[in-house]
Chains A and B, each alone.
Chain A
């Protein structure tokens, strides 16, 4: 079946530094979504990528979809304490199919 893997599982970042989390699918995706879950909270939708090679930015967050539509990345610049949480990618094989979530990258920020 379809598998979505995320690395790293944990990311300890010094406040102000940049980091990247990666998402890899075993199959070609129709689209990929990113969610953020704060400790004790529920996942909140961040963004969706649909086109091959697509890049989208949200303030300090940059999302990229690979050319082959099998991988994606989230890059955060100048990390802040508000960035703490777990970032999940979720891929969909085809329109109408369910989302398959990755294992998440848990981000801890050192002030």
Chain B
């Protein structure tokens, strides 16, 4: 598609439950990025992929967070045993190329609310 599609738009989970977010990048874009935005503040980089391979995971919490980009499937970000502090808007972005200074195109985000 011509837009980054994120689902669901809003996800509510009880503390300790699992949350799974999905992202379909723009067709033809090789790079996918996940960001966490808390209280409309700065974007915390989580992880990026080049096609199905992890490109940079330096922002990814070592515990509880995992992500995948499998061929012919939307990318996913999964949080195990959610905590209250995981409440945030999670944005996915895609770009044609990481190394060619391409802009990142963002999806509308998934608002995760942990109760």
Contact = CB atoms under 8 A, between A and B. Distances in A.
Interface of A: 30-31, 33, 35, 37, 41-45, 48, 50, 86, 88, 90, 92, 95-104, 106
Given A99-B104, A103-B42, 12 more contacts: A33-B104, A41-B108, A42-B109, A43-B91, A43-B93, A45-B103, A50-B101, A95-B100, A98-B33, A101-B42, A103-B41, A104-B41
A102 B103 contact: no
A61 to B, nearest CB: 16
Contacts of A90: 43
Tell me the dominant secondary structure on chain A's binding face.
strand
A23 B71 CA distance: 38
Interface residues of B, number: 24
Contacts, number: 56
| Interface hub of A35, A43, A90 (most chain B Cβ within 10 A) | A43
B72 interface: no
Contacts of A98: 33, 45, 48, 56, 58-59
B101 A101 contact: no
Contact of B91 (A42, A96, A99, A103): A42
Contacts of B33: 98-99
Contacts of A101: 35, 42-43, 45
A45 B105 contact: yes
B25 interface: no
A43 B95 CA distance: 14
Contacts of B48: 98
Interface in B76-93: 91, 93
B62 interface: no
9 contacts: A43-B106, A45-B104, A48-B103, A96-B98, A97-B56, A98-B56, A101-B35, A101-B45, A104-B41
A56 to B, nearest CB: 14
A17 B10 CA distance: 37
